[in-house]
Chains A and B, each alone.
Chain A
Amino acid sequence: MMAVWRFFTSHKTCAWTGLAFCLAGAAGSVVMGRYPELFSDMDAGILADWFARKGLIAPAPTLWLYGLLLATALMTANAACCTAERLVQIFRGKVTLRRLLPHVMHVAFLGVVLSHLVSSLYGDRIHGVAVPQGGFAHVGSTGWILSLDRFDAVMAPVFHEGYGIYIKNFGATPWGAPFAVFDANRDPGAVAILVSSVLFTVANLIYLLPARREDA
């Protein structure tokens, strides 16, 4: 049991999983280009649905993604265990902001990964809702109707009941009628990701200040 705990709190685990992630990601970026028919619809739905369909039927070309997910899971467990162990040590001794900041960054990192997991499992993607100017269209199975009164190429997104509705493309029909194509996305983890990333950035910037003073 202690050996397992030591594995999950070790900096060496961090180093090896980081390296594994980098190698899996580099391989994936090349494999994606080799199998466009497999990966082209990766963003058309949420990752869990895509992976359930494609990950099992084509395990070889998606092997890098298995590696990426495994490395991410290990790194997340590593950061969580490291912070749990070090926080106990910190609160038993002298508590300083400088000692806490790396663990604030760990917590923020965990927030990003877990929120992304929530979005990848419980999000929704509705692609290609084409609406002619002056007309309307149904938005997937939500029961909503999207109408387009006037078209502007730099339209801001509309947020409604957890969905963001974005203009994806625009053009004109062969008979000259303008139309726009919309995507509707629901990312339940997006706000938590934003909060976690801002927390990470703030903690990171504060962490730099004493370091700079020490090196002045």
Chain B
Amino acid sequence: MEAHARLFGLHLVLFWLSLFAYGAEAGLQLGRVSSGSPFRSALFAGLVLHGLFLALRWGITGHAPMAGLFESLTVFSFCSALAAFLLCRTEGTRASWKPLSILIVLPQAGAALLDKRLTPLYPALDTPWFAAHVGLSFLGYGMFAAGLALAWVYLREGGEEIYRAGALSALYGFSAFSAGMVCGGIWAFYAWGSYWIWTPKEIWSVVLWLYFATLTHLKYIPAGSGWPGWSRRMEMGATAAGYFVMLSTFLGVSLLLRSSHSF
């Protein structure tokens, strides 16, 4: 019992340290202080501490720490930080760390305000499909966060490398989210008897999926070929807007509308 309490305390320390590191990165970015190598940054330290926190919480509870608002927000923050290293670690894309570090620290700071107690998982959720469904969906969300940051920088400063990374964020995020939806459908069919139910969350998930599916097609519309005359700027604008479609799906629907995924 005492060991359990110590582990619980340690995992909270890791949570607060990761929040501090993310906050430090955001502060340094806003103060225009660059760390040089991305792997010597406060963001990297935060990512490692955050990963340890999640692994420890997973070990203590025995299930993937992805249930409830606290765990959802902190996993979202972790996946956004991970996306920074998957998509924006080169010299040409590092400018996106300034907005991205804010997008990483905000959900973690929001999670810090919530109840962090360990809760048992509802029996139907206790399957590997749950971890795969939620984990892949959040990986997609993290990529969409990186997409907003990259699109923001592209719309202000331009740049071929930023554009390519922004386009990849939509493609990778769509792919991860897509795979997450498939896992969710398999799990729901096995657990609830139906891969689909009509609730706002399910509808918004398909809206998000289709939004990014459509977005990946838009680059094939040549600029100037009739209104609206698609261009890279509009593509990046749509990539940035995709973050808010994701936010509506993740938080808006779950907090404001009655749904199977309400917190």
* B61 at interface by CB-CB < 8 Å: no
Could you say which of A15, A19, A116, A205 has the most chain B C-beta atoms within 10 Å of its C-beta? A15
* A25 at interface by CB-CB < 8 Å: yes
Q: What is the total number of residues of chain B having a CB less than 8 Å from a CB of chain A?
A: 47
Beta-carbon contact of B123 and A194 below 8 Å: no
* B111 at interface by CB-CB < 8 Å: no
Q: Given A157-B193, A197-B182, do A18 and B214 touch, yes or no (CB 8 Å)?
A: yes
Beta-carbon contact of A15 and B185 below 8 Å: no
* B116 at interface by CB-CB < 8 Å: no
Cross-interface CB contact of A18 among B196, B211, B248, cutoff 8 Å: B211
Beta-carbon contact of A29 and B253 below 8 Å: yes
Q: Which of A90-98, A133-141, A173-181, A182-190 contacts B (4 or more CB under 8 A)?
A: A182-190
Interface SS of chain B: helix
Beta-carbon contact of B168 and A211 below 8 Å: yes
Beta-carbon contact of B178 and A204 below 8 Å: yes
Q: Which of B41-49, B68-76, B101-109, B197-205 contacts A (4 or more CB under 8 A)?
A: B197-205
* A193 at interface by CB-CB < 8 Å: yes
- Residues of the A chain whose Cβ atoms lie less than 8 Å from the Cβ of B213: 18
A106 shortest CB reach to chain B, Å: 10
Beta-carbon contact of A211 and B193 below 8 Å: no
Beta-carbon contact of B221 and A33 below 8 Å: no
* B190 at interface by CB-CB < 8 Å: yes
Beta-carbon contact of A25 and B204 below 8 Å: yes
Which residue of B has the minimal Cβ distance to A152?
Answer: B123
Interface SS of chain A: helix
- Residues of the A chain whose Cβ atoms lie less than 8 Å from the Cβ of B178: 200-201, 204
* B195 at interface by CB-CB < 8 Å: yes
A165 shortest CB reach to chain B, Å: 8
Q: What is the total number of residues of chain A having a CB less than 8 Å from a CB of chain B?
A: 43
- Residues of the A chain whose Cβ atoms lie less than 8 Å from the Cβ of B258: 33
Beta-carbon contact of A42 and B193 below 8 Å: no
Beta-carbon contact of B179 and A26 below 8 Å: no
Q: What residues make up the interface of B, taking CB atoms closer than 8 Å to A? A: 123-124, 126, 164-165, 168, 171-172, 175, 178-179, 181-182, 185-186, 189-200, 203-204, 206-207, 210-211, 213-214, 217-218, 220-221, 225-226, 230, 245, 248, 253, 257-258
In the complex, the 6 A-B pairs of residues with the closest C-beta atoms, listed nearest first: A18-B214, A29-B200, A166-B193, A25-B207, A42-B198, A197-B182
14 contacts between A and B (CB under 8 A): A18-B211, A25-B207, A30-B200, A43-B194, A75-B210, A154-B123, A164-B189, A164-B193, A187-B194, A190-B195, A201-B178, A208-B171, A215-B164, A215-B165
